[in-house]
Amino acid sequence: MSLRPCPCTRLVAGVLTMLFVAAAWAQDSRKVEEQRATGKEIAYDRSRGNCLACHAFPTQPDAVQTGNSGAPIIAMRARFPDKALLRALVWDATAFNPDSMMPPFGRHRVLSEEEIDKVVDFIYGL
């Protein structure tokens, strides 16, 4: 008597693999969303990012009492195809424009490197 696998074994293995991949992808998506939410919290926090003091967030209905001295935070992917440039501006805008009123969040250690990454991830999605 030979031991041959049931023909449905491959099907079951394939379905289980697909479910595992889908679960891993969903977990990664949740991590990205959590990071964006955290970036949003930092950006809105008046004692940390305080982006609302100078920038309007037209697509965010919860962005209230915004300033208008900085550029509006909208269409960021189109305005900054290179995300690294956007990050560099948040880290120290005075490196690009010595007269910039934007605080050098990284150079002055107002925000940690991780916090800057989270804020950039959030605003890059707007």
* pTM beyond cutoff 0.75: no
pLDDT score at 3: 62
Domain ranges of the chain: 12-124
How is residue 67 written in tokens?
A: 């300033």
Determine the angle formed by the axes of helices 113-124 and 8-44, rounding to 10 degrees.
100
- Would the pLDDT of 126 be above 80? yes
Domain 12-124 class in CATH: mainly alpha
- pLDDT (mean) for 21-29: 61
How is residue 72 written in tokens?
A: 């509006």
Q: Which H or E run contains 65?
A: none
- pLDDT (mean) for 37-42: 86
Cα 123 to Cα 111: distance, rounded to the nearest angstrom? 15
Query: What does the angle CA 49 – CA 31 – CA 86 come to, to the nearest 5 degrees?
Result: 40
Residue 11's pLDDT band, with cuts at 50, 70 and 90, is low
- Would the pLDDT of 74 be above 80? yes
Cα 51 to Cα 22: distance, rounded to the nearest angstrom? 36
pLDDT score at 105: 96
Q: What is the mean pLDDT of the chain?
A: 85
Residue 65's pLDDT band, with cuts at 50, 70 and 90, is confident
pLDDT score at 68: 92
Q: Which residue has the higher pLDDT, 24 or 45?
A: 45
pLDDT score at 38: 87
pLDDT score at 25: 61
